[in-house]
Amino acid sequence: MSGQDRIKQAPPTAPTLLTVLRRAHIGMALGGVAIVGISLVVPAAIALHIAARHDLHLAARAMSYTAEAAVVFKDGGAAHDALVSIAAEADVAEADVYDRDGHVLASWHSQSNTPLARISALAASLLGETAETVQVLHEGEVVGEIRLRGSGQTLFGFLLAGLAGIAACQVLLVLGALTLSRRILAHIATPLEALADIADMVRRQRRSGHRLPAAHIAELNELGETFNALFDELDTWQASARHEHARLAHKANHDSLTGLPNRHFFEESLARALREADQAGHSVAVLFMDSDGFKQINDTFGHAAGDTVLVNIAARIANQVREGDLVVRLGGDEFAVLLTPVADIADVHRIAEALAETVRKPMTLAGGEHITTSLSIGMAMYPAQAQDAASLLQIADAAMYCVKRSRGGGRNPAPIDQVFTNRAVK
């Protein structure tokens, strides 16, 4: 998902929203089923335990009636038959018949030794064994007693069925909770994950072109629309910032009057051109140019006319050089041209002559005056004449001033009024 990651990014072990919702649903489902199941099974088990004791009492009474004669005559076989006839049909584990002296007259034990019977016996001992004792009466006199112990199979079977029912309900509810979680994923978690992904993309990559789709939940849909509006504003702000940055960068690297690159841009471009020349093995040339008689034009016609002359010179030079060459205004009436690549000094001379020729063509001022001016051009080549940028500029600048001095400082010896009467400044 460096600087406040996801607004203090959650630790790696933090669960996802889907995991939290899924756990909550499953926990509530299991807890609800467990509470409801226990609230139903426990009272039912208690009631069943009471009913089992009642059934055991009834079985004991039935045995006392059946075994009455056997007890009176102390007939153990008949007493045993009486026990078997009833105990085999009831939920009884053991049955004993005692005479009036407390001696065992007959006993019966369940022969069931299945795992269920053993587990039932263990459960019965844990839950509290169900036992019943009933006196055997003959003509109102106690002649013996019947003692029964329940097997607990009925109660244990009921508990197993109840627990199985609870488990089945829990399985069904877990499946339902998972299904519900998937639906919540589609309606809640998915829009939130999309929001987090897009916000992270905007923060890391500064890309805000993606938008959140409509959500099925009103609050999430409103949240998505709010973020989409925020992204729209961010796009507008970024476009404005880029435009302003480009404007400031252009202003920092270009001359405001002529629109040509300035000295700073020229020095950076020259350093880059020299590195490329070293790698490619070709030559680079620099032309330094100064307008002759520019001060006379400014003094005679004003600074507005001088600006017009500078703009015309800049346009003519830019239209004359090759597409890959660089024309800059160094300041005042000084210009420079970076020629790259060049084959030899003869090519540089031809370009310089073409520049001088195009600038000598008449210019028209705002007042209708037609004037001509000229350029003093100095040139230098790398690496033939210089081994670094500073030396190259120094040689070209010195050559330009040498040309200007040879022309008498660029001053026209003729009177200024005669010059402009003839529509020419030479």
Catalytic residues: 333
Tokens linked to 106: 């007959």
List of residues 6+ apart from 64 with CB closer than 8 A: 134, 135, 136, 137, 145, 146
Q: CA torsion sign, 51 to 52 to 54 to 55? A: positive
Rg (CA), the chain: 56
Q: Pick from 60, 47, 52, 61: which is nearest to 124 by CA? A: 52
CA atoms of 349 and 86, how far apart (whole Å): 136
CA atoms of 197 and 6, how far apart (whole Å): 10
Tokens linked to 408: 């008498």
Other Cβ atoms less than 10 A from the Cβ of 215: the count is 21
Task: Tell how strand 131-138 and strand 104-109 pair up.
Answer: unpaired
Q: Pick from 394, 409, 266: which is nearest to 340 by CA? A: 266
The answer to whether residues 195 and 208 touch, using CB atoms and an 8 Å cutoff, is: no
- Planar angle of CA 375, 376, 381, nearest 5 degrees: 115
Residue type, 197: D
Exposed, middle or buried, 192 (CB in 10 Å: 0-12/13-18/19+)?
middle
The answer to whether residues 166 and 173 touch, using CB atoms and an 8 Å cutoff, is: no
Q: Pick from 343, 333, 328: which is nearest to 410 by CA? A: 333
Beta bridge partners of 288: 336, 378
List of residues 6+ apart from 157 with CB closer than 8 A: 120
Using CA atoms, how far residue 319 sits from 306, 312, 343, 376, 414, in Å, is 20, 11, 21, 18, 31
CB burial string 356-367: b at 16+ within 10 A, e below: eeebbeebebee
